[in-house]
Amino acid sequence: MPDATSAMLQAKPVVLASASRTRRDLLTAAGLDVEAVASGLDERAVIEAVAAARDPLRPADVAAILAEAKAQTVSEQKSGMIVIGADQTLELDGKLFTKPDTVEVARRNLLALRGKTHLLHSAVALVRDGETLWSLTETAALTMRDFSPEFLGRYSAAAGDAILDSVGCYQLEGLGIQLFDKIDSDWFTILGLPMLPLLAKLRDLGVVET
């Protein structure tokens, strides 16, 4: 029996080139029929190649490249389907931060972010049969409070391995909100998927009813 959302909305199936549960849940909650397929893209290799270039790209551009590359990779497997690629990068004073490998690296990153404003660049791209139909990058500004090292110790212990799940080492919907003084952004951009412009484009493409 269809649920209330599917009874209200009509949407063609789409593919999400990601294993991110957060992004899939956002799309599903909005009434989309989503198949999630991990791209298998080696993001770290792409980032390292960009960093080694003679003219390194801005962190926002890196997010856009990764989002499109994920969608292109999965599009090869999904003929005729619209594939959504998404990625997010973190920038502090022009420096690109990557997702930490260990809790100790996460702690060092949080100490670097403490008391400062950093940027989250959230990129999304739509690809069908290898053609990029649309792409967009939106940016959120977040200011961390000047928390004590003791608080950081308690936070990292309480968060556990979840501290490694995001590039910023926090989830604002959980304990991570206690790290912040100020947030200037659309909530969906922080979560890594600019939903309002994405849904608008999907309506333009006839994927979601108008």
Rounded to an integer, what distance in angstroms lies between the CA atom of residue 156 and that of residue 78? Answer: 40
Mark whether 87 is an active-site residue. yes
Q: Which two tokens stand for residue 11?
A: 């949407």
Strand 95-97 and strand 82-92: pairing? antiparallel
Q: CA-to-CA distance for 203 and 209, rounded, in angstroms?
A: 6
What single string gives the DSSP state of each residue in 165-205? SSTTS--TTTGGGGGEEEEES-HHHHHT--HHHHHHHHHHT
**What is the C-alpha end-to-end distance of the chain, expressed in Å?**
24
**Catalytic residue (choose from 42, 87, 161, 184):** 87
Between CA 161 and CA 144 the distance in angstroms is 21
Q: How many CA atoms lie within 13 A of 167 on its CB side?
A: 22
Helix, coil or strand: residue 81: coil
Annotated active-site positions, please? 87
